[in-house]
Structure 1
Amino acid sequence: MPVVTDISLSGDSFPLGHLLELDDSFTVEFERLVPTGNAVLPFFWVPAGSVDAAVEALDDRSLVASVEVLTEVENRALLQVEWTDAVNGVVDALLETDGAIVSGKAVRGSWKFRLRFPDHYQLRQFTALCTESDVAFDVEGVYNPHPPGDESRLTSVQWDTLMAAHEKGYFEVPRRATLSDLAAEFDVSEQAISQRLRRAMNVVVAGLAFGESDAPGA
């Protein structure tokens, strides 16, 4: 079942990060797209008043094969970029896991993305690939299978706890990890870990069974 996650990462963790250095108020907003080859993230909006500086900055990057201004609408300009084969990091991770950018923007030096993956396995693979590439990001929410509202949202703490439990073998038979092991890793009580896992599993199971959740996201 598809899974959606919200992540945030620093400006320099993404191929377009240098654009954020042009001006403190510079913003970038991506067009929704499923990445395919070097066509990944080809369309994005920048402020019309900064379009010349943005094009010049992109032309000067080895990761960019070409850049073109497609149109200007009101105070925004739509750019199209073709990447070289050298692009890596988050982009490579998206390509490897069939990830799709539902929405994305950059404001005040950081990136925020809503990503969709075919299933939880591909999301875990995306996380692993980013870790291998030394790309750090924060998980701000995980939705299963879509984000209709806060009631179906896994918090970042719930997601981290659920993933740690899975990776350490808490759900295996026989178990390779106990509540005590997980509690020690997160430096909380066993009761706190148990509550996190129950709430997270409630959201996940309700999403799988009904396509939404009545469970609280706290």
Structure 2
Amino acid sequence: MGKIHREMDDIRSIELDNAFYVEDGTWIESLTVASNTAFDPETVLEGISGASLYYSSEIPTASDEIGIHRLTLLATESYPFILSLVLRQEAIPNRIVLQNGVFEIVTTTRDWNQFRSMADEIQETLGEFELLSVTQDKEPGEPLDSGRLKEVLVSKLTDEQLAVLEIAYNRGYFHVPREMSATELADELDVAQSTVSERLRTAERTLLEIIYGSRE
């Protein structure tokens, strides 16, 4: 997030909609980026090391002077990454926005002690922390916006691949031990077993390419 903020001159805000940790400091991130001028996400990311664009869509606005894009990218985040600081304290991140070089964060913690521990670590690693408000609520709220990243991932699969994954998952094909065999899965889909195997491998390869990139 910070790298994109530094790369763009007319940035308004960057919101972290969702993130999925891969390994070795690499994350799949879903971002909403708003700028005072139109911009090309691919051009912006070309100048950022450790970041590769997987998906982007432009959000229509009423003004020609504002550009908003929803991005999904594979990014290597150096320590300290604000989301990892929140998660290290087992707090629930509800909203993370970077604006004017400052992170605004909404989180849910179990109690004041957990919040204080998170605040202390953020101040120690990032150098500054300001508490704007505190509310007490029995409902913790949703962790970021889980729907957007799921929407992107699903959009990369065909209807046939989605169908075989959904049925396989719901019927226990991926459980250990398996609760449904490949033959039973093929019978339920009314296709040949070889077709089921092909659709599963293709779907799994597509999802792995999102994480690790194409082998070609």
Bin of the TM-score, shorter chain as denominator length: 0.3 to 0.5
Kindly indicate whether structure 1 or structure 2 has the higher relative contact order, using CA contacts under 8 Å at least 6 residues apart: 1
Q: TM-score, normalised by structure 1?
A: 0.46
